Amino acid sequence: MSLYRSVCCLALIFLASVSCATARGSPGALPDIRPGQRPAIDTEEAGLWMMMDRVEERLRTSGRVVTDANLNLYVRDIVCRLAAEHCSDIRVYIVRTPHFNASMAPNGTMQVWTGLILRAENEAQLAYVLGHELGHYLRRHTLQLWRDIRAKGNFLAFFQLATAAAGFGYIGPIAELIALGSIYQFSRDSEREADDLGFELMAKAGYDPREASSIWEALIKEQKAAKDPERIIFFSTHPSTEERVETLKQLGERAGADGVNRIIGRERFLAAVLPLRADLLRDELRQRDFARTQVVLDRVFESGVGLGVLHFCQGELFRLRGGEGDERKAIASYQKALEFDDAPVETYRALGFLFVRVGNKAQARNSLERYLAIRPDADDRDMIKAHLQEMQ
């Protein structure tokens, strides 16, 4: 994305903490949505909202929505900090999907994918992405897109892509989402507006805008490592240039030059996310894009907490990848995991079976027996006992 035309305006926002309207030069620009506003029933916007209402109902009953109460309260608190008087108009759904994305439908439905939560390092980084999506909602960019496509006589295409885009995470295979994502793109002016307003919301809520560029840099690194970069869905709908990162860095540094103590929220973020991180990493490993997942793991390791889980997942990556020397690396990672109290009990089982494969029966027996001692009611108890019998 080219350098923002409103850099000077944003600098004033961050340094002086005053309100400033973003550039509104995009074709078909609309007034911002008002708190509590719902379109009149006889308008085209009402038709769009009703379509999104149906999609929201499908999402609610999809079985992919994370129900963890603490995480939901935590993410909603961030959204309400950013959205202020619009808080009551927004329904937040955390969707269990191992991809980096968040989206905002015009009827107030916000999706936050678990792949985004896994990749964020702190609350400020998560707030930046959510603020950007709120910017699209407040500026009513989806209605602008709707009108633009209708003007081109392709209503059916919009209906199909809007339904699927709003249902990211549970409708259709990933290849279909990528194809739809390549169509569901806001204009560059809309992206600038969403970024500008997202930064403004972030600063007003007290978050440190210097964190905004970090999550983009990590995602670009992940994209470069991926075996199929097109599977980064967020980059199907958002510009991904290094120039954008540089712009975010410049804006963040200017914002931080005022000496105000702003919120990063690392501890609060980790407290909400750590209980689910093992499951989210397992979802990531199931994609079997090992170079990309290694980038994610390296980033999560930087948190310095939950190391038993992280070393276990590192061992799982080596085991699943199965390259030359990976068995040895997996064993070392599992053994490292067991040095920490939070190592999953499955570490013993994985280690036992690897010892079987390398011919170390004594350590295999020790690991598998330890697994059964900790989990005597394990579903795979009979299978494990059969393996132990064979090793006698």
Q: How many CB atoms are closer than 10 A to CB 156?
A: 9
Average pLDDT, the chain: 82
Cβ(314)–Cβ(296) under 8 Å? no
Range of weakest confidence among 136-145, 161-170, 283-292, 346-355: 161-170
Q: What mean pLDDT do residues 236-242 have?
A: 59
Euclidean distance between CA atoms 65 and 111, whole angstroms: 9
Higher local confidence (pLDDT), 355 or 249? 355
Domains of the chain, residue spans: 7-256, 270-390
What pLDDT score was predicted for residue 115?
95
Q: What mean pLDDT do residues 170-197 have?
A: 57
- For residue 295, CA distances in Å to 189, 317, 322, 360 come to 31, 12, 18, 32
* pLDDT exceeds cutoff 50 at 169: no
Residue 275 backbone phi and psi in degrees, to 5: -60, -20
* pLDDT exceeds cutoff 80 at 344: yes
The model's confidence at residue 44, banded by pLDDT at 50, 70 and 90, is confident
The model's confidence at residue 161, banded by pLDDT at 50, 70 and 90, is low
Q: What tokens appear for 212 in the block?
A: 């905004």
Out of 3.90.1150.10, 1.25.40.10, 3.20.20.140, 3.40.50.300, the CATH code matching 270-390 is 1.25.40.10
The tokens 């340094």 sit on which residue? 15
Cβ(49)–Cβ(38) under 8 Å? yes
The model's confidence at residue 228, banded by pLDDT at 50, 70 and 90, is low
Range of weakest confidence among 26-40, 112-126, 228-242, 355-369: 228-242
Range of weakest confidence among 202-206, 209-213, 280-284: 209-213
* pLDDT exceeds cutoff 80 at 338: yes
Q: What mean pLDDT do residues 12-40 have?
A: 58
pLDDT tens digits along 261-277: 899 999 999 999 999 99
* pLDDT exceeds cutoff 50 at 184: no
* pLDDT exceeds cutoff 70 at 85: yes
Q: What mean pLDDT do residues 137-147 have?
A: 82
Euclidean distance between CA atoms 383 and 392, whole angstroms: 15
Euclidean distance between CA atoms 165 and 206, whole angstroms: 31
Higher local confidence (pLDDT), 234 or 360? 360
pLDDT tens digits along 275-304: 999 999 999 999 999 999 999 999 999 999
Higher local confidence (pLDDT), 351 or 21? 351
* pLDDT exceeds cutoff 70 at 22: no
The model's confidence at residue 220, banded by pLDDT at 50, 70 and 90, is confident
Instruction: Tell me which H or E stretch contains 93.
Output: strand 91-95
What pLDDT score was predicted for residue 20?
31
Predicted TM-score of the model (pTM): 0.83
What pLDDT score was predicted for residue 51?
83
Residue 137 backbone phi and psi in degrees, to 5: -65, -50
The model's confidence at residue 330, banded by pLDDT at 50, 70 and 90, is very high
